[in-house]
Structure 1
Amino acid sequence: MTSRLNPYISFSGDARQAMEFYKSVLGGNLRLNTYGDFGSEAPPGYDDKVMHSMLETASGFTLMGADNPPGVEHKPGNNFAVSLSGDDSDELRGYWDKLSDGGTVSVPLEKQMWGDVFGMCTDKFGITWMVNISEQG
């Protein structure tokens, strides 16, 4: 297996809903393991919380996520973003439409000074996404 770089997102109890949402946007195969899947070692109240999840898509995207374990502070927001980029305008615009729906657009998806179409939004789970469509020619 080759090395890969991908985002891993921590959630405060809604990892399952968030990862299922991202699957509905990006497609692919989602694998979820809950704390309860590992039997008696699950912290109290965490049987149904996500200990680890991985979404892998046909486009080669990998996104991982989990609910924070007890005692770990959740700090959502501005310390990272997830970037989707390429030259398939229809595919990327489709992702943009779904990710920005119910969220906040900080940079509209439009042609930028460097020549590409770019946009940035924060989805309904508080995750910042950047979409860059490379312009050919």
Structure 2
Amino acid sequence: MSLTLNPYINLRGTAREALEFYHSVLGGEVQVSTFADFPEMAPPGEEHLVMHGQLTTAEGLVLMVSDVPSTMPYAAPAGFAVSVSGDEAERLQRVLWDALAESGTVTAPYTTPPWGGTFGMVTDRYGVDWMVMCNDGPGDAPTVES
């Protein structure tokens, strides 16, 4: 059996904009379905909202977003973070960290933590928390033993 765990971000009216921003940062392919594509589910006046958006990168990263229509309860993203890690220092720094931090709020600077590598936390312009970790080298990510 194969399992995949993907972040799915719910936003209120900014899912398309967020998906376009994440696409500009991560690259990849974007797929978008709006509520208009499913008329029986479309809240009146909100047919243009994103029912399901998906960004899939060449590296296999998958990030999903949707707009929560006004007919459903909504709480801003909280209690989770999207974590991206790897060993491509320049890409993680310039392409990901700098882009997220430019219009976001840095909650932990992108610097060397006690466990090595480079790590930082930022809340992006959509209120989504991100953790970015660059390992010292392949296979140097911290591990937890049971």
Asked if TM exceeds 0.5, the reply is yes
SS at match of 2:38: helix
2:92 matched to which residue of 1?
Answer: 92
2:144 matched to which residue of 1?
Answer: none
AA paired with 1:85? S
1:32 matched to which residue of 2?
Answer: 32
Q: Give unmatched runs, 5+ long, in structure 2.
A: 141-146
Equivalent runs, 1:61-72 vs 2, <5 Å: 61-72=61-72
AA paired with 1:67? D
2:131 matched to which residue of 1?
Answer: 130
CA RMSD in angstroms, aligned pairs only: 1.6
Partner Cα distance (2:114, 2:34) in 1? 45
Greater CA drift, 2-11 or 37-46: 37-46
TM (normalized to structure 2)? 0.88
AA paired with 2:112? K
* 1:108 CA drift (Å): 0.7
TM (normalized to structure 1)? 0.93
Q: Give unmatched runs, 5+ long, in structure 1.
A: none
* 1:3 CA drift (Å): 2.4
- In the TM superposition, structure 1's runs of 4+ consecutive aligned residues that sit over 4 Å from their partners are none
Deviations 1:18-50 (A, max 9, x none): 111100110000100000012354110111000
Percent sequence identity is 45
1:14 matched to which residue of 2?
Answer: 14
